[in-house]
A and B are shown apart, each in its own frame.
Chain A
Amino acid sequence: MKSLAELQALRDSMKNKMGIRSDESGCTRIVVGMATCGIAAGARPVLTAFTEEVGKRNLTNVAVSQTGCIGICQYEPVVEVYVPGQEKVTYVKMTADKVAKIVNDHIVNGNVVTEYTIGANAK
């Protein structure tokens, strides 16, 4: 360690990796339905893809987690995105291919990917 700046850079990169350990709210949550129906429909690769994508982009304050049955089994795999202060967005019939777009458009840039949501698919 040669300088304070070098230490601060290391701290920031380490902090990213530990962000999920904070108890503070204000964190965006990506929740994948991982009940039997979800897993059978292919939720597992979706969860993995989210984890990888969030990691690749070094996003802080974003947690990827799972939940049980959301109750709309015909639309599985289901993913819900909770951005603090906004209404929850529910994405349905998810695949790993759709993940990058959701992370890029919705999580990073704040634009909901309407075409993947339950509203668009329920028609």
Chain B
Amino acid sequence: MYRSHILVCGGTGCTSSGSQRIIDELEKELKAQNLSEEVKVIKTGCFGLCALGPIMIVYPEGSFYSRVTPEDMHEIVSEHLVKGRIVKRLLYSETVENDTVKSLNETTFYKKQHRIALRNCGVINPEDINEYIAYDGYQALGKVLTEMTPDDVIKIIKDSGLRGRGGGGFPTGLKWSFAKASVSDKKYVCCNADEGDPGAFMDRSVLEGDPHAVIEAMAIAGYAIGADQGYIYVRAEYPIAVKRLEIAIKQAREEGFLGENIFGTGFNFNLELRLGAGAFVCGEETALMTSIEGNRGEPRPRPPFPAVKGLFGKPTVLNNVETYANVAQIILHGAEWFSAMGTEKSKGTKVFALGGKIHNTGLVEVPMGTTLREIVEEIGGGIPNGKKFKAAQTGGPSGGCIPAEHLDIPIDYDNLIAIGSMMGSGGLIVMDEDTCMVDIAKFFLEFTVEESCGKCTPCRVGTKRLYEILDRITKGKGKLSDLDELDDLCHYIKDNALCGLGQTAPNPVLSTMHFFRDEYLAHIVDKKCPSGVCKALLSYVVDADKCKGCTLCAKNCPAGAITGSVKAAHVIDQTKCIKCGVCMEKCRFGAISKK
């Protein structure tokens, strides 16, 4: 019996800010105080509030300590755990109100969240199957195998309205029914954990925090469609996720949730990992399967769809990590429970990875239909440094930008598509007034050019040409006709690329051109970058009236571009200036500005 449990976040975010050293120090302190037998330290998955990491929570009090350091452990042990005095200076400030400590669930970050896919992240030890079982783990698999037919399973998933969380939003139950209807001696269940969008880390967090949820759901899918073999395709760049999956698969096998004759029902299901080498295109379903087969990860034409002819030419169900993370809960709580959440056509919740210019960088799960404003301003805590919101980018390189005028749109699959973006896997990058939208479009195109597999010409050549046009616009060499050319080329690529990567690659360009055409025009016509990002269009100038001739700017200029003598106004030589902005930063009189 442990009288206290200390949960320390072991997600990638907190791990990189040193949570393992915190655990080591904590255990050392507990040992020194003879508390090792009474206080249990548990390394969990992601809590979501990555901006405040490393994070730990002490039960039974539920004290939420944020940004802790190894040096704080002595105080936490000797004050909190020995004497029962909560270390208030380390508590997350939002949980302290008028000297009383609130529950974490009452803070603005968590209050509006509804955690289904993330239900166990930050709650259980992902490396201990028993903790997963304590929270109803494998109950759904047991129920499915002993009480339900495959058709019952598919019906409940269909009725729940669950749609693919990887981006496309295809109804999961329908996908399963197609695979079940395909007749074959062998079928496969695959999990797409090749999360590659810049700024997206939902799938990683689910795998790190609750790997068994994915394993259980894959076995359920196997039963539903008649498959006995599954593959999880996960990026090799996710070492913590890979390690925890390996541990979880081993434990599940030992406990008999994977393998032969599961629950004594004669159902067999085995699961293997396949590590991806980090090609973005391998997140596309046909390229992913080609990669599992041992070939170069290139997409193939559809139809035939994977449900008919997928992995190794056999009927295959392929779902995303987050989709699977919902399955066991739907089986246990019923289709109606799930479909009661969300909007008319998008049921349940969605996990978003909040990043960019926002206070609470991290992972949030909200019911579908939550507005962007609620996510950004309330849960996300708004934009730092008093800056103004300009746009939110969803769907990564396949998605688009949502401007401030659409902040109140309820987020679901169809609404996002209607405004030229897409749900994507759930990366949500917030941009403030200092972000140049042409530069953002260029950034994403640079990514797709790099990641295009080269199999089809529209994507291989088309994205490169898009990038070149954007590049010349940001360098002040754009022509007005470039806008039409961009538009034509975008639609051509959309219509003709072989796979989802190419078909969606123009989205960042189209959506920024639609909502921020004035910025494109400013670059092309006025040769100005309104946000002051595109260096070729900027110049730093000294206001001679304000300049006191202190020489500080000239001393700090790395390019030697500033001249002037003491107590006389200085001048920046624009031909030498590299636009690093150091002079503006150093000037104490506000005499240097960007134009």
Query: Interface of A with B (CB < 8 Å)?
Result: 1-4, 7-8, 10-11, 14-15, 17-18, 20-21, 23, 27, 29, 31-36, 39, 47-48, 50-52, 54-56, 63-68
Contacts and interface: CB of A to CB of B under 8 A. Distances in A.
Given A50-B3, A65-B4, 20 more contacts: A1-B256, A1-B257, A4-B143, A7-B138, A7-B139, A11-B136, A14-B131, A15-B135, A18-B131, A20-B3, A21-B5, A23-B103, A23-B104, A34-B83, A34-B84, A47-B3, A51-B1, A54-B1, A63-B59, A68-B83
B370 to A, nearest CB: 22
Q: Looking at A21, A29, A36, which has the most chain B CB atoms within 10 Å of its CB?
A: A21
A31 B5 contact: no
Given A18-B134, A65-B60, A4 B255 contact: no
B63 to A, nearest CB: 11
Interface string B146-177: 10000000000000000000000000000000
A78 B322 CA distance: 49
7 contacts: A1-B255, A14-B130, A20-B3, A20-B60, A23-B62, A36-B83, A47-B3
B123 interface: yes
B139 A8 contact: yes
Secondary structure of the A side of the interface? helix
A8 B103 CA distance: 30
B447 interface: no
A27 B83 CA distance: 21
B131 A31 contact: no
A39 B85 CA distance: 13
Contacts of B255: 1
Contacts of A4: 139, 142-143, 146, 263
Which 10 pairs of residues, A with B, have the shortest CB-CB distance? A55-B1, A66-B84, A14-B134, A63-B60, A4-B142, A67-B84, A20-B60, A64-B3, A1-B256, A51-B3
Interface of B: 1-5, 7, 38, 59-62, 81-85, 103-105, 123, 130-131, 133-139, 142-143, 146, 255-257, 262-264
Q: Looking at A18, A33, A47, which has the most chain B CB atoms within 10 Å of its CB?
A: A18
Q: Looking at A3, A35, A54, A65, which has the most chain B CB atoms within 10 Å of its CB?
A: A65
A1 B38 contact: no
Contacts of B1: 17, 51-52, 54-56
A23 B111 CA distance: 13
Contacts of A14: 130-131, 133-134
Contacts of A36: 83
B84 A10 contact: no
A15 B134 contact: yes
A54 B60 CA distance: 14
Contact of A65 (B61, B133, B257): B61
Contacts of A18: 5, 131, 134-135
Contact of B84 (A55, A56, A65): A65
B54 to A, nearest CB: 19
A20 B59 contact: yes
Given A23-B103, A63-B60, A66-B83, A51 B142 contact: no
Nearest to B7: A21
